[in-house]
Amino acid sequence: MTQQTHDLKSDLAIEALQLSGLLRLRVRGHSMLPSLWPGDFVTIQAQPFDSIHLGDIILYLRNSRFVVHRVRYKAETVIVVGDCLRMPDPPLAASEVLGRVISVRRYGAELPAPHLTVFRRVWSYLLRRCEFLQRVALWIHAKNVRRSEGLADIRPEFSIP
């Protein structure tokens, strides 16, 4: 994909978020493991800068790429870092924050945005430190995605009483 095409897609997504207030994107990387996994769909809601809090997962644009990371510090600027990364990203200005993740769709289920619990902190530390463990976790996740895609989507209006 050319850079111009990528920029047009980004501009279109930002415009859709600003007009409708919601945007759904597919997660591609693994910097937010174990909170977000590759293939998850995140729903982003446009939020004013004042309503962004510590621990929120936010969307921003950096080098013409969407990034979804967790807020670690907020003042005039925001410091964000991926749950599975050691170093934070460069500081963000208030104008760079596009929205906040409000839900995640994984294995066909809609879940609220994940908080960074003690369990997730330990799990992310282990995934960050052990590449083999990360590869095994991603392999298991890929198997679960394939299994969930093979299941029929059961809707109440079509179910047999």
- Does the pLDDT of residue 151 top 90, yes or no? no
pLDDT tens across 50-84, in order? 999 999 999 999 888 899 999 999 999 999 999 99
Q: Are 103 and 43 in contact (CB under 8 A)?
A: yes
pLDDT average, residue stretch 20-36 = 94
What are the extents of the domains in the chain?
3-151
Mean pLDDT of 22-37: 94
pTM, rounded to two decimals? 0.86
**Predicted pLDDT of residue 159:** 40
Q: Using CA atoms, how far apart are residues 78 and 31, in angstroms rounded to an integer? A: 18
pLDDT for res 41:
94
Q: Which CATH number fits domain 3-151: 1.10.10.10, 2.10.109.10, 2.60.120.10, 3.20.20.20?
A: 2.10.109.10
What span, in angstroms and rounded, lies between the C-alpha atoms of 150 and 18? 35
| Distances 14 to 18, 56, 65, 89, 105 between C-alpha atoms, Å | 6, 19, 11, 21, 20
pLDDT at 9: 82
Share of the chain above pLDDT 70, in %: 92
